[in-house]
């Protein structure tokens, strides 16, 4: 089996961390850089990250995150923030595509025009749905990469989203989608079962 399959089988949600284990900013940035290869709608990459790394930052986040102990004990907590005006990044992204040799100028302009004909006119609900889906894709990729490197993670949706939004100065078109604690596992977490795929699948 591939190492990716092995990482998928090893990954589980960990809530008890070694508070003395530290990940450096460089290690976390490398992990995030690798995770950003995740797919997104029209490659608009509707995400940014807030990394709670210092002890004081994690301590301040804990009450917003329903007093979950892993917020303070993990090496870091990564907030994935969704951007519901992701189309405003299209020129920057497509210019980078040209600079890296993925597109020529004509293709770049076509991509920009295609994006601006549709995304700005989508409903707020649809834009929120797109951003949430794409942030979910990068979150999963981030956790698998972390597992492959020997780190433990847990995704957390149980936090005060409104208080987070206000406390950390998010823009009106941004939304805190998910928190991910990352660090070194202490002990062994209990396993969990999954419903069989054949009971959930319909072939047409």
Residue 200 forms part of a structural domain: no
Residue 150 forms part of a structural domain: yes
Q: What is the domain count for the chain?
A: 1
Whichever domain contains 142, its CATH number is: 3.40.109.10
Residue 201 forms part of a structural domain: no
Residue 199 forms part of a structural domain: no
The DSSP secondary structure of 86-153, one letter per residue, reads: GGGGHHHHHHHHHHTTS--HHHHHHHHHHHHHHGGGS-HHHHHHHHHHHHHHHHHHHHHHHHHTT-EE
Residue 184 forms part of a structural domain: yes
State pLDDT tens for residues 88-109: 999 999 999 999 999 999 999 9
The pLDDT value recorded for residue 2 is 63
Percent of residues, the chain, with pLDDT higher than 70: 99
Residue 136 forms part of a structural domain: yes
Instruction: Print the domain residue range for 102.
Output: 4-190
Residue 21 forms part of a structural domain: yes
Mean pLDDT by 10 residues, the chain (204 residues): 81 93 98 98 99 99 98 98 98 98 98 98 98 98 96 98 98 98 89 93 98
Edge-to-edge strands of the sheet including 174-183? 47-52, 76-83, 174-183, 152-156
Residue 105 forms part of a structural domain: yes
The pLDDT value recorded for residue 7 is 87
In this prediction the pTM is 0.95
The pLDDT value recorded for residue 188 is 78
């Amino acid at each position: 089996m591939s190492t990716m399959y092995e990482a998928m089988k090893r990954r589980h949600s960990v809530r008890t961390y070694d508070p003395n284990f530290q990940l450096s900013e460089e290690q976390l940035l490398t992990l995030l850089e690798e995770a950003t290869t995740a797919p997104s709608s029209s490659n608009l990459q509707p995400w940014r990250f807030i990394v709670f790394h210092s002890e004081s930052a994690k301590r301040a986040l804990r009450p917003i995150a329903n007093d979950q102990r892993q917020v303070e004990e993990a090496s870091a907590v990564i907030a994935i923030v969704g951007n519901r005006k992701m189309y405003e990044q299209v020129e920057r992204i497509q210019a980078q595509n040209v600079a890296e040799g993925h597109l020529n100028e004509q293709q770049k302009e076509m991509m920009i025009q295609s994006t601006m004909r549709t995304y700005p006119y989508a409903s707020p609900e649809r834009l929120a749905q797109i951003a949430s889906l794409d942030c979910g894709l990068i979150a999963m990729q981030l956790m698998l990469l972390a597992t492959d490197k020997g780190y433990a993670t847990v995704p957390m949706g149980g936090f005060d989203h409104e208080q987070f939004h206000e406390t950390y100065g998010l823009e009106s078109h941004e939304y805190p989608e998910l928190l991910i604690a990352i660090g070194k596992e202490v002990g062994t977490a209990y396993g969990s079962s999954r419903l069989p795929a054949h009971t959930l699948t319909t072939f047409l």
